[in-house]
Amino acid sequence: MNYVGIDVSQKELVVVVIIKGKARPAKKFENTAAGHLEIIQRLTKLKGETRICLEATGVYHFDLAVALSRADDLEVMVINPKAAHNFAQALMKRSKTDTIDAATLAAYCERMPFEAWQRPADEVIALRAMSQPVFRVGQALPAR
């Protein structure tokens, strides 16, 4: 079994993979459709089952979670940030970086009961896409 932790931010995804109890060096990807595809391609090449854990981070995790849940042989768990914070405290993690957070999420995935994330229906996802304005990263929001 492979365990993956992904630290999600607006622009970047940091991925740590644990294979046979050993964490691999972190890799960084853009939080874009192309970055999501690259992660999926890398993870589907791993031998055996792969479970992925990421935090619910506002809107930034959603598109990644949907993409991962649609991939074959990948299972996704989206956890409450408070659960991840408490788990990190239990591990006595004092530092907080994206790489440490991703490794902590991978360890959470490895040690805690796995609860698969249920992707919303395609109709709900389509409605969400139609109802949200499109902004580029760094673009100022319109005045209200």
Q: Is residue 138 part of a domain?
A: no
pTM value?
Answer: 0.83
Query: How many independent structural domains does the chain possess?
Result: 1
Residue entry with tokens 């796995």? 114
Query: How many other C-beta atoms can be found within 10 angstroms of the C-beta atom of residue 144?
Result: 3
Arithmetic mean of pLDDT, 9-28: 95
Round the average pLDDT of the chain to a whole number and report it: 88
CATH assignment at residue 127:
3.30.420.40
Task: Report yes or no on 139 lying in a domain.
Answer: no
Indicate the residue type of 16.
V
Residue 103, in any domain of the structure: yes
CA separation for the pair 67, 36 (Å, rounded): 7
Confidence band (pLDDT; 50, 70, 90) for 143? low
Write the pLDDT tens digit of every residue in 58-111: 888 989 999 999 998 899 999 999 999 999 999 998 888 999 999 999 999 999
The answer to whether residue 114 sits within a structural domain is yes
Q: Does any domain span residue 8?
A: yes
Range of the domain at 106: 2-131
Can you tell me whether residue 57 is helix, strand or coil? coil
User: Left (φ > 0), alpha (ψ -120 to 50) or beta: where does 21 sit?
Assistant: left
Distance CA 80, CA 119 (A): 16
